[in-house]
Amino acid sequence: MARRFDMAFDSPVGVGDILSAFADDDYWQARLAAFENGTATLNGLTVEPSGAVTVDLAVKLFADRLPTAVTKLAGGEFGMARIERWSWIDDERACGAIEVAVPRAPVTAHGDVLLTPSPTGSQLRFSTTVDVAVPLVGGFIENFIIGRLGDDIGAVQRFTDAWIAANG
């Protein structure tokens, strides 16, 4: 059974600044270097005239960093494919959709993000669903993933804020 996780973060930078960063190849290269330890590649970055951004990422997952129950699913090291789509809703708000799949493993995740202006910058609201279709251990794996999401999303947001401050 899929697990859902909701959270919100305040950011000192504006919605437009965040979307501009997401449209910048330098941002993605710096983010991948900061978080994926050289295990990720940017397969594609598409920026539409409307400002909509699509990001295609691949991440190699190492067996020694994952619970045994996860590595048994795929027999060792395997990869994760992530597509992120970001676009404006109106003049002030933007949204994101993040799709994650793990080829060779019955693991998927979907996240929706709403970016809204706030008096001090912006607020990002995340809603993520993780599904591991494995009898008996699927819930354990979902809980492991959800347990890391809060820290991971927060770290990425702090990185994004700092990157915008330095490169904005």
pLDDT tens track for 125-138: 999 988 877 766 66
What confidence tens digit (pLDDT) does each residue in 84-116 have?
Answer: 999 999 999 999 999 998 877 778 889 999 999
pLDDT category at 83 given cuts 50, 70, 90 is very high
| pLDDT recorded at residue 106 | 79
- Domain containing residue 32: CATH number: 3.30.530.20
Q: Which tops the pLDDT comparison, 14 or 136?
A: 14
Amino acid letter at 91? D
Closest CA to 80 of 58, 113, 95: 58
| Domain span at 25 | 3-167
Report the pLDDT value the prediction gives residue 77, as an integer from 0 to 100.
64
The dihedral built from the CA positions of residue 129, 77, 33 and 42, taken in this order, carries a sign that is negative
pLDDT at position 74 over 60: no
Q: Count structural domains, the chain.
A: 1
